[in-house]
Structure 1
Amino acid sequence: MDSVMNYVKEAATLFGEAGGNWRFTPGETPFSSTWIPVTTVLSYFVLIHLLQNKMELKKPFQMRGVLIAHNAFLCLASLVLFIWLFGTIVYRTFDQDATPHYLLCSEKMHNNGSLHIIYWLNNLTKYWELLDTVFLVLRKKPVLFLHEYHHGATLLLTWSQQREHSTVQWVPILLNLGVHIVMYYYYTLSAAKIHVWWKKYLTTLQIVQFVVGVGACSYCYGKYLLNGFDYSLCYGTDTGAVTGIAILVSYLLLFIRFYFQTYSAKGSKQKVN
């Protein structure tokens, strides 16, 4: 057992120290300036609707190969970042003999090069994920408000949480990466015309991630509020905490609504038939 634990510690150390002293610096790190994500998201909303109008009189594109490559790339990217982030959290746990509060709230926990790089790379993937919507429009598939809002808001959320030094952000990011491994694997199979029976459970998994994410973020902000606005008890800013909780709650409500509209409606139709 000791040899196994030593192996785990050594592996975790590789992940945890891989980032060295790298830090996300607003205004200096590429894609960190405010105008870049804000302009990107606004342009995304405008261009998607312009493209929808353009496609009204056109035939849908057949994009099987492109979709397989696109979704497989995002699945693998999510897997790599998930493993790196999980390994880094394990490293911080061993390195500091950490408590759950330390992992969620400590400034020392946040100041790790690997975490900063992972958060930044995760944010960059959100730019690439905007192509999800472009491909839907080019194939003349419906674009739900949930889809469009989620893609735009997540790009802004992952950027803002870095900027506001949110210590707890690793929780929703780790959960999101885990879900995206499964989700983009599903999309890859679907693009390859391989039937997948567990789509319903993917939505359930997404709902669970938001419940856990909201819970973790609420714990941190609650600690901060109940102890006289003392940042030393839970590192971060008001802006980061309120923004994070508000967006995650909006996701939770929208995904629950989508779940009941989609699967309850299907169940009712089947009963009628």
Structure 2
Amino acid sequence: MFGLAGNKTVTYRDYLVWTYTEPPTIRPLWFEKLDLIWSIEWAIKYWTISIWAAALYLIFIFVGRKWMENRKPYDLKSVLIWWNGALAIFSIWSFIRTVPELVQVLSTEHGLFRSVCVREYFNESSAFYGWLFMWSKIVELGDTVFIVLRKKPLIFLHWFHHITVLVAVWVSVFHFDPVSRWFGVVNLGVHSLMYTYYSLKAMGYWIPKWVSMTITFLQISQMILAVGLNLYAIYVKSTGVTCARSDEGIKIHFWLYFAYLVLFANYFYKAYLRPRKSLKGKVE
């Protein structure tokens, strides 16, 4: 439930009107089924799952690193291959199934504006992978488990990014912003490359340094794009044009992505441009 208007109970079905496009412009596969309103209201009711997951995650980092202090690092090579491989497959497939809708919206008249500010062209397949994307942010916390158990360097960017993205994605359901299609698709695209890279590394393949540099550069580009999209939404609203984005949603996304941009740029400089001690380790 969203709130009360007089004697009428207002749900997100009333407050945020964005129903599936009929007939669908992108046909969902047989398993890509999702009750849109139910999923939104469920996430709003149980969004604190993300807070509990983040809290347990931080406790694990502290306790796990203490527990591993006087122990030999676990190898976990075969498990790591399967882990990264599974996340790579999920990201690749989800990207393939969601990017067509973003392209479709951008190809219309005033496509950029529509993709950021208008609730339209929404297909069930995109909603389905948006739901999985939300849950994947909890699953991806497992990346840190491998870092702790293998006694690899754990940098601030890594764990800060994990917990803030997790909570932000779950809270973003409250705002149901059209721009979320951008954030999800681009993130899935970058993760497709990133997890494939880590899977191949775990298999023992030699991969030139420029590949990891390129992936980090793409991550930085993702943050620049997100900051730009939020600034665009601010501009649109300042002109008096209706934009289906909440002020709270814009603020949350702008400041988070700006922080990520600074942190990723700093990581890139220290890891690849400045001849200093290695900063090896996953940053996402």
Q: State the number of aligned residues.
A: 254
Which residue of structure 2 aligns with residue 127 of structure 1?
138
C-alpha distance in structure 2 between counterparts of 1:17 and 1:165, whole Å: 25
Counterparts in 2 of 1:16 and 1:167: CA distance versus 1, 3 Å: farther
1:105 aligns with 2:99: no
Which residue of structure 2 aligns with residue 237 of structure 1?
246
Counterparts in 2 of 1:215 and 1:30: CA distance versus 1, 3 Å: closer
TM-score by length of 2: 0.81
Over residues 25-51 of structure 1, what are the superposed CA-to-partner deviations in whole Å (9 max), with x where a residue is unaligned? 477436861210111112111221111
C-alpha distance in structure 2 between counterparts of 1:122 and 1:138, whole Å: 26
C-alpha distance in structure 2 between counterparts of 1:142 and 1:192, whole Å: 20
Which residue of structure 2 aligns with residue 257 of structure 1?
266
Deviates more, 1:234-243 or 1:250-259: 234-243
Q: 1:107, CA displacement in angstroms? A: 2.1
Report the 3-state secondary structure (helix = DSSP H, G, I; strand = E; otherwise coil) of the residue aligned with 1:102. helix
C-alpha distance in structure 2 between counterparts of 1:190 and 1:268, whole Å: 20
Amino acid at match of 2:88: C
Q: Are the aligned partners of 1:106 and 1:235 in contact in 2 as well (CA < 8 Å)? A: yes
Report the 3-state secondary structure (helix = DSSP H, G, I; strand = E; otherwise coil) of the residue aligned with 1:163. coil
Q: Are the aligned partners of 2:26 and 2:125 in contact in 1 as well (CA < 8 Å)? A: no
% same residue: 28
C-alpha distance in structure 1 between counterparts of 2:249 and 2:92, whole Å: 26
Which residue of structure 1 aligns with residue 13 of structure 2?
none
Which residue of structure 2 aligns with residue 51 of structure 1?
64
Q: 1:92, CA displacement in angstroms? A: 4.6
C-alpha distance in structure 2 between counterparts of 1:145 and 1:24, whole Å: 37
Runs of 4+ in 1 over 6 A off after TM superposition: none
Counterparts in 2 of 1:12 and 1:81: CA distance versus 1, 3 Å: farther
Structure 1: 5+ residue runs without aligned partners?
A: 1-10
Q: Are the aligned partners of 1:37 and 1:159 in contact in 2 as well (CA < 8 Å)? A: yes
Which residue of structure 1 aligns with residue 10 of structure 2?
none
1:72 aligns with 2:99: no
Q: Are the aligned partners of 2:44 and 2:173 in contact in 1 as well (CA < 8 Å)? A: no
Q: Are the aligned partners of 1:137 and 1:143 in contact in 2 as well (CA < 8 Å)? A: yes
Amino acid at match of 1:81: S
Which residue of structure 1 aligns with residue 125 of structure 2?
114
TM-score by length of 1: 0.84
